[in-house]
Amino acid sequence: MNTSTAVALNKQVAATRRKRFSVTKAIVFLVLGILFVTQVYPLLWLLLYSLKSNEEILSGSFFALPQSPQWGNYSSALEGNYFRYLLNSIFVTSVTMITVIILSSLCAYAISRFRWRFGGAVMVVFLIGMMIPMQATLLPLMIIFKNMHILNTHLSIILPYVAFSMPIAIFILSGFMKTIPHEIEESAVVDGAGIGRIFSSIILPISVPPVMTVCILTFINIWNEYILAATFISSEKLKTLPFGVNSFVSQYSVNYGAIGAFLVLGALPVIIIYFLLADKITQGMVAGAVKG
Amino acid sequence: MNVLKVSRWTIAAFVLPCLIIYIGIVFVPILVSMYSGMLDWNGIGESTFVGLANFKKLLFHDSVFWPSVRRTLMFAVFSMAEIPIALLVAILLKRYVRKPNFLVSSYFLPVILSVVVVGQLWKTIYNPASMGGMLNQILDAVGLHSWGRAWLTDPSVAMYSLYFVALWQYLGYHTLIQFTGISNVPDDVYEAARIDGAEGFKADWHITFPLIVPIFKISIVLAFIGSLQAFDMIMVMTGGGPAHATDVISTHMYNMSFTSMKYGYGSSIAAFLVVLCLAATFCINFIFNKLEKRYS
Amino acid sequence: MAKMSKLLSIVLTGTLALSLTACGSGNKEDSGSGASGAAGSGSSTSDTTKDKNITITFQNIYPDPTDPKNKIMNKIVDQYEKDHPNIKIELDSLNTDQQKLKLKTQAASKEIPDITVVNPAAQMQPFVDAKLLAPLDDMLAENGLKDTFQDGLLDWYSFDGSTYAVPDGNNIGVVYYNKELFEKGGVKVPSTFEEMIDVVKTLKSKGIQPMAIGEKDTWTGSFLFMNMLLRTNNGPGFLKDVLDKKKTFEDPAFVEAVDAFQNLVQAGAFQEGATSFDYNAGENLFKTGKAAMYYMGTWATGGIESSSVNGKVGVFKFPTINGKGNPDEFMLAPGSAFAIAADSKHLAETKEFLNYFMLSFPKEAFEAKGAVGIGQKVEGDFKAAGYSDMAMDVLNMFKEVKGGDLAFDNTMNPGTAQAHLSSIQNLFAQKKNSADVAKEHQAGFEDNNQ
């Protein structure tokens, strides 16, 4: 756009276009603005919710502000082992994400770039599992983990999280790696680089954008996961954040305000990290423009 | 197509760690489930082998099953229909907003929120007007009282209310993915197109779309996975009710396996799900292989 | 680009370091709790050399720290751990649905926790049949625990002469009503079901929501329906007769109950959209004074007492229908109960603990004002201890119980129960021919009892 020729060429066209654009632009911004409100409002709603009393929540109307902010909800939420759950969640999630990325990128590389007979077959095997819901395997997994003696350890949830995230990760990564020009590797081979070097210093850095996508997908699939965690983990000190939310739902009473407070506390770190890294994430993705 | 000739050991080192975990944790349990589908078993006590009896009953004598399959497929159709909308939003963001990252991130927020939040929020929106339901109150206020519904409890609309929540929640998700795709299209491509006289949406149709076909495929696959696995949201909002009106395959499977304690029967539903997944994967791959060939 | 990968590598090394340290501590914890069978390595108390360090896993459904039962549980457990330094009670507190799912999964791999929670009669039968639960007769004989339970209550948890679980509650189904709203609507407590329909219509015409229900949790409607069946059948035992093939669901008594139930629904008794209200949301309509009547088990008493309608609430027995039935027959709701795993590694110690827990339970519950509807006899003056008038009414009603029925899912197997529950839920969504509903039940029953 900054080339002066283009500017000169378009000067007149631009003048007429600007007028038309101002109307279109207004509509566009209106649409985008409405979307912004509808997508961000839940957070605000949650904040208000977390400061209401149980009775206000269940009887009060949608937009009402809390009569007097119930900060007590936050203290009951913190009473419930919040920090331990948070640490466990961060630990489980980060180990899962790192493992998924390392293992799947290795595998995706082999599938998309190596010349071997079973590449296609392996891909199909992964595709089969891509859409299977985790709940369908709950009972067999319980028996497997019992025999592995890893019930009630973090490993018993990290393993299925990793395994269930791998198919989609391999699907995305191998799709991307297929598009990397062959010349890059060929010249590296000529320079005498081994396959490990090629992978770690050429392929991985190029693959940052799809890796970012995989990170996000993996994260949203496991951060709020509860059914597997609740089934395989029994020790209080190993439990993750979704336990916190569900611990406020007991047999004949539900502490809605405290659930709200806990949800705020559970979502807060994620939102902060997400917005801090949002620029980096999208930039990282944009950096993949090598492809064109 | 693949260039690198490497030793068998190298291949093993690259592939096996992944494959072993995957086969042990995903593949074997699926096979076990398929076998359990041939048992008459409550999940706790003794089991008896009944061959294909469960499947026969499932396919021919289960009044809940086929409607739940239909709803699952409808779910998938709606989720996929959303992707062009997400693409449009992404294009608008890219074209009209100077610093789009903040907006893209904001649109993504509902995806991060726990399904408990989303469920509670929409329940309060869908409630009857007398219970503070926002949607019905708004309809009343603009004089459309007759449009008001018991959104989650009228069997004829309840499922559509659920589809809508899913669409709302995942709009930002697909927008982010499409936005990434568009951002990867170099500016000079558009510049060249403009000189050729292609601008605006015309340029998008001829340039943007072909270039982001692979990204489109990812979105489609994710939408499909999402709708097959739609479980938590339905459990939170309607629990499959009223009277199975909002049951999908996964909730039916859960109810049979665990609530009704017919684990064998539930497993036969799981087996059906696996077959459905396979068919869907191959369909999607087939269509996109054709598309990619046409455009490249 | 370069900056990005640098950032990534920093993040990676950071999380790896974190994960390594966390792994270390994780392993340490495992040797403590996971391998609870082995002798604890670091037994710090030297005077208990002959006692091994033991961890007892206590799965329970009291996860909410603001719930009195959670406080009672923690108090008793803390005291026990103090008295027995070598024993650690690991609490696995889950919400009800999750606990049911977890226990079923655990049962399939024969890996159930030392103490778990089961529901009475038909619901716990599969676990007993699979020999997963330990008989508790010796534990009940210890310290006279058996005699603390109300007469006959343990029968619901006994199979072939042995008791397999001890309940935390025993309740009956009653109608709570808001006296203020009744006055405003100019209606009186109905003594027949026909009067009750009139009350509903009158309240409705004056803009007062007559009844509240949380029908997303399908058992709530079923509980009320079963009370109607108890009346139209002129006494208890209908489901048992069906099981014994003496009757079918197409019996006139059943059809009459469906008719009565539909009359109530069609009279507009329940709030709009009732099937999307879960148990708590339904109950809260009553607790916030937005509904005039609420049919529920007496376990709701505590919650109503601590709500804004406290002091304005009375209770009445579900009335007769078409002159049939006896109001002194109630829906009986023996509560969820603690059971012990048959293959628990520390069977003796677990029994000793549960014995202590149950012996302490009534006293602690009484003090925490949670003793209405517990399964054990309570010594003490409720009035003097500050229990409300409504609680006293409920307690008096317990004395008038002349038998009754259990809930549907405690009598029939889970498959039949699910068919029934969704059939009844459907009545909230649309009006049906009562004979068809009966047929639907019979088909569901035959389908699940081959």
**CATH number for B207:** 1.10.3720.10
pLDDT tens digit string along C22-64? 333 333 333 333 333 333 333 344 444 456 789 999 999 988 7
Q: Closest-CA residue in chain C for A246?
A: C95
* pLDDT (0 to 100) of residue C232: 95
- Same domain, yes or no: C69 and C127: yes
pLDDT band at A155; cut points 50, 70, 90: very high
Q: Say whether residue A145 is in contact with chain B using an 8 A CB cutoff.
A: no
Go through C188-203 and write b for each residue having 16 or more CB atoms within 10 A of its CB, e for each that does not.
Answer: ebbeebbebbebbeeb
The sign of the torsion formed by the CA atoms of B53, B55, B56, B58 equals positive
* Mean pLDDT to the nearest integer, A264-273: 82
DSSP state of B4: B
pLDDT band at A291; cut points 50, 70, 90: very low
* pLDDT (0 to 100) of residue B19: 92
Put simply, the answer to whether A205 touches C5 (Cβ < 8 Å) is yes
> Taking CB atoms and an 8 Å cutoff, what residues of chain C touch B119?
none
> Taking CB atoms and an 8 Å cutoff, what residues of chain C touch A146?
109, 111
Q: Closest-CA residue in chain C for A208?
A: C5
Q: Closest-CA residue in chain A for C90?
A: A235
**In whole numbers, what is the pLDDT of chain C averaged over residues?**
85
pLDDT band at A80; cut points 50, 70, 90: low
Q: Which residue has the higher pLDDT, B171 or A263?
A: B171
Distance of CA C147 to the CA centre of its chain: 23
The CA distance from C173 to B188, in Å, is 75
For an interface test with A, the pick among C10, C27, C64, C287 (most A C-beta atoms closer than 10 Å) comes out as C64
* pLDDT (0 to 100) of residue A60: 56
Q: Which residue has the higher pLDDT, B261 or A282?
A: B261
> Taking CB atoms and an 8 Å cutoff, what residues of chain A touch C34?
149, 151-153
What Cα–Cα distance (Å) separates residue A178 from each residue in A124, A207, A215, C113?
16, 11, 20, 50
| CATH code of the domain in which C424 resides | 3.40.190.10
Put simply, the answer to whether B278 touches A116 (Cβ < 8 Å) is no
Is the pLDDT reported for residue A235 higher than 70?
yes
Please tell me the distance in Å from B216's CA to the nearest CA on chain C. 25
Could you give all domains of chain A from N- to C-terminal order, each with its CATH number?
A: 23-59 (no CATH), 80-290 (1.10.3720.10)
- Same domain, yes or no: C320 and C339: no
Is the pLDDT reported for residue C65 higher than 90?
no
- Same domain, yes or no: C163 and C268: no
> Taking CB atoms and an 8 Å cutoff, what residues of chain C touch A244?
none
Q: Which residue has the higher pLDDT, B147 or C400?
A: C400
Position C85 in a domain: yes
Q: Say whether residue B260 is in contact with chain C using an 8 A CB cutoff.
A: yes
> Taking CB atoms and an 8 Å cutoff, what residues of chain C touch A262?
none
Q: Closest-CA residue in chain A for C94?
A: A247
- Same domain, yes or no: C238 and C303: yes
The DSSP annotation for C253-318 comes to HHHHHHHHHHHHHHTT-SPTTGGG--HHHHHHHHHTT-EEEEEEEGGGHHHHHTSTTTTSEEEE--
Q: Closest-CA residue in chain C for B266?
A: C415
Position C181 in a domain: yes
- Same domain, yes or no: C89 and C164: yes
* pLDDT (0 to 100) of residue B194: 76
Position C4 in a domain: no
Put simply, the answer to whether B255 touches C418 (Cβ < 8 Å) is yes
pLDDT tens digit string along B164-222? 999 999 998 899 888 887 877 777 777 777 777 777 777 777 777 777 887 888 888 88
Position B246 in a domain: yes
Q: Which residue has the higher pLDDT, B158 or B200?
A: B158
**In whole numbers, what is the pLDDT of chain A averaged over residues?**
80
Is the pLDDT reported for residue B97 higher than 90?
no
ipTM of the complex: 0.86
pLDDT tens digit string along A129-139? 887 888 788 88
The CA distance from B255 to B261, in Å, is 8
- Same domain, yes or no: C240 and C264: yes
For chains A and B, count residue pairs whose Cβ atoms are closer than 8 Å: 264
Q: Closest-CA residue in chain A for C111?
A: A146
Q: Chains meeting A at 3+ CB pairs closer than 8 A?
A: B, C
Distance of CA B118 to the CA centre of its chain: 16
The CA distance from B62 to C394, in Å, is 44
List the single residue in B6, B171, B189 with the smallest CB-CB distance to A195.
B6
Q: Which of residues 140-179 of B touch C (CB under 8 A)?
A: 150-155
* pLDDT (0 to 100) of residue C128: 94
Position B241 in a domain: yes
> Taking CB atoms and an 8 Å cutoff, what residues of chain B touch C107?
43-44
Percent of chain C with pLDDT over 70: 89
* Mean pLDDT to the nearest integer, C259-274: 92
pLDDT band at A254; cut points 50, 70, 90: low
Position C298 in a domain: yes
Q: By three-state DSSP, how is residue C321 classified?
A: strand
Is the pLDDT reported for residue A11 higher than 60?
no
Is the pLDDT reported for residue B54 higher than 50?
yes
pLDDT band at A165; cut points 50, 70, 90: very high
pLDDT band at C353; cut points 50, 70, 90: very high
Domain that holds residue B137: 54-293
* pLDDT (0 to 100) of residue A7: 46
- Same domain, yes or no: C339 and C290: no
* pLDDT (0 to 100) of residue C352: 94
* pLDDT (0 to 100) of residue A285: 53
Position C258 in a domain: yes
Residue B47 Ramachandran class (φ > 0 left, ψ -120 to 50 alpha, else beta):
beta
* pLDDT (0 to 100) of residue A6: 47
Position C9 in a domain: no
Q: Say whether residue B127 is in contact with chain C using an 8 A CB cutoff.
A: yes
- Same domain, yes or no: C369 and C230: no
Beta bridge partners of C337: C118, C167
The sign of the torsion formed by the CA atoms of C105, C107, C112, C118 equals positive
Query: Is the bond preceding residue B242 a cis peptide, omega within 30 degrees?
Result: yes
* pLDDT (0 to 100) of residue C133: 95
Please tell me the distance in Å from A235's CA to the nearest CA on chain B. 22
Element (H, E) at C434: helix C434-448
Q: Say whether residue A106 is in contact with chain B using an 8 A CB cutoff.
A: yes
* pLDDT (0 to 100) of residue B267: 92
List the single residue in B131, B155, B259 with the smallest CB-CB distance to C273.
B131
> Taking CB atoms and an 8 Å cutoff, what residues of chain B touch C101?
258
Q: Chains meeting B at 3+ CB pairs closer than 8 A?
A: A, C
SS3 letters for C12-36? HHHHHHHHHHHHHHHHHHHHHHCCC
- Same domain, yes or no: C296 and C319: yes
Q: How many domains does chain C have?
A: 2
Put simply, the answer to whether B261 touches C415 (Cβ < 8 Å) is yes
The CA distance from B47 to C41, in Å, is 41
Is the pLDDT reported for residue A90 higher than 80?
yes
> Taking CB atoms and an 8 Å cutoff, what residues of chain A touch C109?
139, 142-143, 146
* Cβ-based neighbour number of residue B233 at 10 Å: 18
List the single residue in A55, A153, A246 with the smallest CB-CB distance to C95.
A246
Q: Closest-CA residue in chain A for C98?
A: A230
Put simply, the answer to whether C111 touches A146 (Cβ < 8 Å) is yes
Q: How many domains does chain B have?
A: 1
Position C75 in a domain: yes
The CA distance from A164 to A182, in Å, is 31
The CA distance from A104 to C5, in Å, is 18
Is the pLDDT reported for residue A4 higher than 50?
no
List the single residue in B6, B101, B112 with the smallest CB-CB distance to A267.
B112
Position B278 in a domain: yes
The DSSP annotation for C52-121 comes to PPEEEEEEES---TTSHHHHHHHHHHHHHHHH-TTEEEEEEE--HHHHHHHHHHHHHTT---SEEEE-SG
Q: Which of residues 330-389 of C touch A (CB under 8 A)?
A: 336
The CA distance from A128 to A140, in Å, is 18
Position B37 in a domain: no
For chains B and C, count residue pairs whose Cβ atoms are closer than 8 Å: 94
Is the pLDDT reported for residue C321 higher than 50?
yes
- Same domain, yes or no: C155 and C234: no
Is the pLDDT reported for residue B241 higher than 90?
no
Q: Say whether residue B26 is in contact with chain C using an 8 A CB cutoff.
A: no
> Taking CB atoms and an 8 Å cutoff, what residues of chain C touch B68?
none
> Taking CB atoms and an 8 Å cutoff, what residues of chain C touch B154?
429
Position B36 in a domain: no
List the single residue in A139, A255, A256 with the smallest CB-CB distance to C108.
A139
Domain that holds residue C76: 54-170+335-379
Element (H, E) at A24: helix A4-50
The CA distance from C383 to A249, in Å, is 31
Q: Which range (A2-16, A80-94, A254-268, B255-269) has the least confidence?
A: A2-16
- Same domain, yes or no: C364 and C412: no
* Cβ-based neighbour number of residue B144 at 10 Å: 11
- Same domain, yes or no: C192 and C320: yes
